[in-house]
Amino acid sequence: MSDLIIENGRIVDGTGAPAFEGSVLVEGGKITALGADADAKANPGIKRIDATGQTVMPGLIDTHCHLSFDDAGSNSEIFHQRRNALSALVASYNARKLLRAGVTGLLDPDSTFENMIDLRDAIDANIVEGPRMSCGAYALITGVGGTAGRLIADEGVSGYYMPVNNKDEIVQEVRRQIKYGADWIKVHVTGIIPRQSHKGELCVWTMDELKLICDTAHDLETPVMGHCRGADATRKAALAGFDLIFHGTAMDDAALDVIIDRKIPIAPALTFQYNMVEFGKKIGTSDNLMSIFEREITDSIETMTKAHKEGVPLLTGSEAGFSLVPYGDWHYREMEVFVKYFGMSTLEAIQCATQKSAFGIKMAGEVGVIAPGYRADIICVTGRVEEDLSLLGNPDNITNVMIDGVEKDLSPPPKRNPIQGWRLASIGDMRLTREVAYGGEQPTATLNIEELH
């Protein structure tokens, strides 16, 4: 790593404080001085980066990104079309897209074949280039299943799921995952039961089971994160000792009180829903489905707003890995959700995506802030980001990305060719009734012959 000074920039430090003009001095991979102090301490021959007209800020941290899913269109594609080594190689390709989007850290909650543990280690060893990674292994579920219904086998691995069917299996699997390198234990606290799908996601664990997971993981100094939708699941997870809640939608007062009392961070990960609401018509989504997705956001306005005001950290997560939130495009967008729906200022939202989200990669107090003593995970962005968050959506605006003061390659990755057997073939998203065939309706998708090879 080389020492450098970033000059003439507008600094957004990630703490929620107002932007200010000044320099940032980086030495030995850490930030050592700001402003006039940085200018005074910089050696005459030091490398200089001119950030005139740019925002200098901490790199974004995405706390809900599935790098192994490869912009999948369905769970079926993830469960049945993916191959272990190839999905890890493809994930390393996609990791470069995150760097170009200004992401310097990510939490990958669960992955196919647990192979994001391997990608994390490859990045740490400087074998491939990507953001800092923290990751889970397989998501733990009960025999009831997770969010993929009967696609999930009663035992053994299904895609990114691992069912545990008794207390001995819970202890064994938690210990196994930690042994093989999981930074977090991921639990699907809620799942959809096909016959009861009209009720939404239900809690599929007992309190004793959830507490056993936490006790086993915590004894080995490993935190626990949970996919929770609904008040019962969120309250039980919080009482059981979960360290991070994903989604946390549809909380009631009892659930919210426990979250506030214990200050358990929440990563709502509502970018998927927000994209569906705003762009669903462009991909043929029905008005009814778009309404359901929007309600998941709007029904959480009161609880998320109160949680934030009471000091509960809200972390940003894109849910990238699915076709509705492709890698490299939407990692900033959760901040827009926080501003539009939860009443945050842009500076507060940036703080959520930087300083607060550092918790998700287990580096709180080390990254996510532009201040002396912090690691130099820094991005330079053309324009005033605190006035327009969408500037982060255009990779051309992001001129510098560094991790530990090391500048990353921001050139576009080479164009991909189709991978045989990688995608599920589609013959369209509309049934070919006689009305469609001979009437006025037009199909919105066509058979992709190339993907059938």
Give residue for tokens 């938690």: 174
Write the DSSP string, 265-311: -EE---HHHHHHHHHGGGGT--HHHHHHHHHHHHTTHHHHHHHHHTT
Assess contact for 312 and 306: CB atoms under 8 A.
no
The amino acid sitting at 217 is A
* Coarse DSSP helix, strand, coil percentages of the chain, rounded to the nearest 5 percent: 40, 20, 40
pLDDT recorded at residue 426: 65
DSSP per position, 195-261: GGGGG--EE-S-HHHHHHHHHHHHHTT--EEEEEESHHHHHHHHHHT-SEEEEEET--HHHHHHHHH
Report pLDDT digits (tens) over 339-394: 999 999 999 999 999 999 999 999 999 999 999 999 999 999 999 999 999 999 99
Q: State residue 450's pLDDT score.
A: 35
With 0-12 CB in 10 A as exposed, 13-18 as middle and 19+ as buried, what is 362? Answer: middle
Q: Is-contact 40 25, C-beta < 8 A?
A: no
Nearest alpha-carbon partner for 129 in 167, 81, 95, 172: 95
Q: Which two tokens stand for residue 118?
A: 């391997």
pLDDT at 440: 59
Look at the block and give the residue holding tokens 């990791």: 95
Integer Cα distance of 320 and 334 in angstroms: 11
- How many Cβ atoms sit within 10 Å of the Cβ of residue 184? 25
Residue type, 99: L
- Evaluate whether 53 touches 400 at the Cβ level (below 8 Å): no
**Quick check: 11 and 54 in contact, CB under 8 A?**
no
Task: Report yes or no: 63 and 105 within 8 Å, Cβ to Cβ.
Answer: no
Q: Spelled out in words, what is the top-level CATH class assigned to the domain 60-331?
A: alpha beta
* Domain spans in the chain, listed from the N-terminal domain onward: 1-58+363-416, 60-331, 423-453
Q: Residue length, the chain?
A: 453
- Enter the tokens of residue 151: 């696609």
- The pLDDT, as a whole number, for residue 284 is 81
User: From CA 314, how far away is CA 245, in angstroms rounded?
Assistant: 10
Identity (one letter) of the amino acid at 214? C
Instruction: Specify the residue for token string 């050696």.
Output: 43
Q: Give the 3-state secondary structure of residue 437.
A: helix
Separation of alpha carbons 66 and 450, rounded Å: 26
Residues 336 and 345: their CA atoms lie apart, in Å, by 10
> Domain 1-58+363-416: which topology?
Urease, subunit C; domain 1 (2.30.40)
The helix or strand, by DSSP H or E, that contains position 348, with its residue range, turns out to be helix 346-351
Which region, left, alpha or beta, applies to residue 242 given φ > 0 means left and ψ of -120 to 50 means alpha? beta
pLDDT digits 0-9 by tens, 278-325: 998 888 888 888 888 899 999 999 999 999 999 999 999 999 999 999
User: What is the phi-psi region of residue 211: left when phi exceeds 0, alpha when psi lies from -120 to 50, beta otherwise?
Assistant: alpha
Task: Give, for all 453 residues of the chain, the pLDDT tens digit.
Answer: 679 999 999 999 999 999 999 999 999 999 999 999 999 999 999 999 999 999 999 999 999 999 999 999 889 999 999 999 999 999 999 999 999 999 999 999 999 999 999 999 999 999 999 999 999 999 999 988 888 888 898 999 999 999 999 999 999 999 999 999 999 999 999 998 888 888 889 999 999 999 999 999 999 999 999 999 999 999 999 999 999 999 999 999 999 999 999 999 999 999 999 999 999 888 888 888 888 889 999 999 999 999 999 999 999 999 999 999 999 999 999 999 999 999 999 999 999 999 999 999 999 999 999 999 999 999 999 999 999 999 999 999 999 999 999 999 999 999 999 999 999 876 555 565 667 667 755 544 443 433 333
User: Which residues have CB under 8 Å from 82's CB, separation 6+?
Assistant: 68, 70, 112, 113, 159, 422
